[in-house]
Amino acid sequence: MRERHGLNAPGEWYIDTACIDCSAARTVAPGLIVHAGGQCVFARQPETAEELRLAWRAHLLCPTASVRTESPAHPPDRVFPEEMTTNIFRLGYNARSSWGAHAFLVRRAHGNVMVDAPRWTRAVVEALEASGGLSDILLTHRDDVADAGLYGQHFGARVWIHEADRAAAPYADRILSGRQPLPIDDDLLAIPVPGHTEGSVVYLYDRTCLFTGDTLAWSFERNDLVAYRDVCWWSWPEQRRSLQRLLDYPFQWVFAGHGGSMVLPAAAMHARLAGLVERMH
Ligand SMILES: [Fe+2]
């Protein structure tokens, strides 16, 4: 039965006990929503307009609809898509089937790109239609495909995945292979990063924005780049080697499937990645 978890701060907003601890809500409302008692809870109630927007954002993306409010208010406008930097948006409406992974939209003059996929919802379809549709869906790995097949079919988009993970997306029509990076377009590079899964891929956009799936993320708790050994399904040593190869590709933004997204100057991000690789022994 769904109940208010007892560790929520008193007030209208709370997270119920059906939370699966996927971390998605924490990564869109860091500090406001935190980890406690084996799940997400509100550390305090939202107070400012911006904090209320974060709470609504968590409400709309939570894959188990566990972020709840006793307020009769409705979500403000423009909660999603959430513009994170120029032309890059978080789509929200995370899917239970991907354990709440984040999906992103890259608006491009020569074809919009979606990285991984949300759950199939009218809100996302309408947002994508208003943005001009989709030309490509880039899947980072087998875990986070969610409803990519439905979006691909609706928009007539090409769907990319690595051959080692392709069983998760049998509808994919662009199959990556091996470990050599492959240019998808002038501004998009697919870089295979076996480790978390054998077919994990990161996508580098505009030489500044790296979409990392579950290979690399920002931790707001540690204030640093992290990789997840306890959910490394294929090979931790391979994941380390893959991250070491990523040192050859400067980037400023990390957009993670699970975990936080963050921007730093390229040199600082490179130093963080080097530090992470060192810690991965
Ligand atoms: Fe994963």
Phi then psi for residue 229, to 5 deg, are -70, -35
Q: How far is the CA of 101 from the centre of ligand 1 (A)?
A: 8
Q: Give the pLDDT score at 13.
A: 97
Per residue in 101-111, pLDDT tens?
A: 999 999 999 99
Q: Give the pLDDT score at 73.
A: 82
- For residue 199, the SS3 value is coil
Name the percent of the chain in helix, strand, coil, to the closest 5: 25, 25, 45
The H or E element spanning position 150 is helix 148-155
Q: How far is the CA of 139 from the centre of ligand 1 (A)?
A: 11
The correct CATH number of 13-69 out of 3.30.70.20, 3.40.50.150, 3.40.50.720, 3.40.47.10 is 3.30.70.20
CATH superfamily assigned to domain 82-279: Ribonuclease Z/Hydroxyacylglutathione hydrolase-like (3.60.15.10)
Q: Give the pLDDT score at 274.
A: 98
- Note whether 13-69 and 82-279 share their fold: no
Q: How far is the CA of 142 from the centre of ligand 1 (A)?
A: 7
Buried b vs exposed e over 68-94: b needs ≥16 C-beta within 10 Å?
Answer: bbeeeeeeeeebbbbebeebbbbbbbb
The H or E element spanning position 82 is strand 82-85
Q: How far is the CA of 91 from the centre of ligand 1 (A)?
A: 18
The reported pTM is 0.95
Cα–Cα distance between 56 and 68 in angstroms, integer?
A: 9
Domain ranges of the chain: 13-69, 82-279
Residue in the structure block whose two tokens are 């919009």: 112
Q: How far is the CA of 99 from the centre of ligand 1 (A)?
A: 9
Q: Give the pLDDT score at 76.
A: 87
Q: Give the pLDDT score at 220.
A: 92
Per residue in 70-88, pLDDT tens?
A: 988 888 888 999 999 999 9
Q: Which residues of the chain, if any, have pLDDT below 50?
A: none
Q: How far is the CA of 70 from the centre of ligand 1 (A)?
A: 33
The pair of three-digit structure tokens given for residue 244, joined into one six-digit string = 């070491």
